[in-house]
Structure 1
Amino acid sequence: MRERSGGPGLLPLAALLVTVCLWASSFAVMKVAIGTFGAGFVVWSRMAVAVAVLLPAAPRILARAAWRPGDWKWLGLMALLQPCLYFLLEANALRYTTSSQAGMISALLPLMVCAGAGLLLGERTTARTWAGCAVSALGVAWLTWLSAPSETASDPVLGNLLEVGAMASSAGFMLLVRRLAAHYDADLLTLVQFGTGALFFLPGALDAAPWRALASPWAAASLLYLGVFVTLGAFGLWNWASRRVPASRASALVNLMPVIAVGLGLGFLDERLSPMQGLACAVVVGGVLISQWRGAGPEKPARQGVSSPARP
């Protein structure tokens, strides 16, 4: 894929790599936090902590924004997709499936983004990418079919389906923010996201029972980690880097997320995958590798407009 100015440079790619590591860690931490506080409270606290950190700078962020007529609907759709729908689906997914399986399903995200970037943003999507998407989808379906209820996954089929929906919401967000980031800075996009999310998930704060669990230092630390690092830090870095890296290339780094998430689930939560589930995971990863392999020959030039897709 042809990029402007010889490529995005190392700093945006490093920012995306840190983002992926933070997102991957969220599966295990969210699993523990939801077991302590409940899904609604955990998701609202993530939004509230992020907004609290941004609030002192909010007047300056809003004042310097160069608002364009009609963009409110795209900013609203961005916030609806992520955090609102994404966290609603993922928090409930982790109630029913393991963090390892949810993390593995995240392998579908870069493929969804590549497909969407080709269809909606004009970025070149090859037949190999579509083939990899099909193979990974088959692996996810197989992994879900093999899943059985356990102590850490009461209804893994439902949980995995909810996680697929969360990935679809995240893919839509990434495509939108790729375009919006060309006109609005990362601080504004992040503020819009989590300001909307804090209001959307406000009912989660009204349950008094989870507040008592905050007396535990580890419980409070898990919420602070999710709010400051995984929510504000990771999405802020992604929003900043998205204007400097094509959507399909940025999403390719998300391929690391399943490996990290599964490793954390197996290492810290004592989750287990059967040999057949491990084979299904290998099929998912294989599909991702197929989609990203470029071969030895020169790559065909992208269509005109890859770096500057049409305005949404």
Structure 2
Amino acid sequence: MTEKSQGRALVLGLAAVLLWSTVATAFKLALAYLTPLQLLAIASVVSTLVLALAVSWQRAWGDVGEAWRNGRWRYIGLGFLNPFFYYFILFKAYDLLPAQQAQPLNYTWALTLSLLAVPLLGQRLHGRDFVAMAMGYGGVLVIATRGDVLGLQFDSPLGVALALGSTIIWALYWILNARSQESPVVGLLLCFLTGLPWVLAAAWLSDGFPQDWNGVTAAVYVGFFEMGVTFMLWLGALKTAVHASRVSNLIFLSPFLSLIFISQILGESIHPTVYIGLLLIVGGVILQQWKRRN
């Protein structure tokens, strides 16, 4: 049984949030040299190795085998969604949009999850849900149009569509994975093992593997932290927390910290409307989470 310690949980949670806040910047650094599929191929290989090491550390390969025997076709489908389809769409969105736009738009996945839960899980939307979604998607419009909401002029309509589309794939993945009985690390490793052949085949057939090694370091960083070490830090924080809700609230710091890294490292001048839109998106997510806890 994991020993509870709120102080240790906060340290782990803050470390996870800090690292997650850097990945949008790493995406753009890598995409300056790599195509989205090349970035995905390198990052997926690294993530798979990190998750395999974690399973070895936990001596859980028996659980991996049992989970595979009980649901191989399910994991083949989930692996197609994540890492292959989700990250390809997400990286393509980052390739087309400034990081300061792509990152907040992707953050609306929690709102998309509530929408998909209606037809797929039979849940109902209430008044507060509609207010939260109006805030969140209003924030999307503010960011995507740089404040010219009535003009509806987008820097990249395809990029905006892909960023929002990635939230549908991510929410669908978590809904389909909701009833999983395996530990998160075991389940995620199986998804990456089954998704990796899709990733490598697509990269090889379309763009080939990178000949210029510029950007590979950033891609390795993405694979190591985006769904590898940081994921396990976050799980550790939630497991050791005395009050898990206080730790989970730390995630709301991530998009604001991310803007700092985007500004300081990428040199993007953050448009004032990004802050307004992000406040609306985060406010909508917080409102929805508060309603769910009540």
Compute the TM-score of the two structures, normalised by the length of structure 2. Answer: 0.75
Aligned residues: 278
Identity among equivalent pairs (%): 24
| Pairwise CA distance, 1:238 | 5.7
Structure 2 stretches lacking a partner, 5+ long: 149-153
| Pairwise CA distance, 1:107 | 3.0
1:270 aligns with 267
State the Cα deviation string for residues 57-116 of structure 1 (Å, max 9, x = none): 778644334438763343333322221221011110011101111111133122233455
Sort the Cα spacing of 1:242 and 1:156 in 2 relative to 1 into closer, same or farther, 3 A: farther
Match of 1:190 among 166, 188, 191: 188
Structure 1 stretches lacking a partner, 5+ long: 1-6, 149-153, 301-312
Sort the Cα spacing of 1:241 and 1:277 in 2 relative to 1 into closer, same or farther, 3 A: closer
CA distance in structure 2 between the aligned counterparts of 1:284 and 1:223, rounded to whole angstroms: 28
CA distance in structure 1 between the aligned counterparts of 2:286 and 2:52, rounded to whole angstroms: 41
One-letter code aligned to 1:104: P
Root mean square deviation of aligned Cα: 4.0
State the Cα deviation string for residues 18-41 of structure 1 (Å, max 9, x = none): 444433321111111011122111
| Pairwise CA distance, 1:147 | 8.0
CA distance in structure 1 between the aligned counterparts of 2:122 and 2:249, rounded to whole angstroms: 17
Of stretches 276-285 and 190-199 in structure 1, the one that deviates more from structure 2 is: 276-285
Sort the Cα spacing of 1:22 and 1:157 in 2 relative to 1 into closer, same or farther, 3 A: farther
Are 1:101 and 1:262, in contact at CA under 8 Å, matched by a contact in 2? no
1:64 aligns with 63
Are 2:100 and 2:274, in contact at CA under 8 Å, matched by a contact in 1? no
Match of 1:33 among 14, 17, 30: 30
1:171 aligns with 171
CA distance in structure 2 between the aligned counterparts of 1:193 and 1:19, rounded to whole angstroms: 21
1:23 aligns with 20
Are 2:36 and 2:92, in contact at CA under 8 Å, matched by a contact in 1? yes
CA distance in structure 2 between the aligned counterparts of 1:22 and 1:178, rounded to whole angstroms: 25
One-letter code aligned to 1:179: R
Of stretches 107-116 and 164-173 in structure 1, the one that deviates more from structure 2 is: 107-116
Are 1:93 and 1:160, in contact at CA under 8 Å, matched by a contact in 2? yes
2:138 aligns with 138
The answer to whether the aligner puts 1:287 opposite 2:287 as a matched pair is no
One-letter code aligned to 2:222: L
Compute the TM-score of the two structures, normalised by the length of structure 1. Answer: 0.71
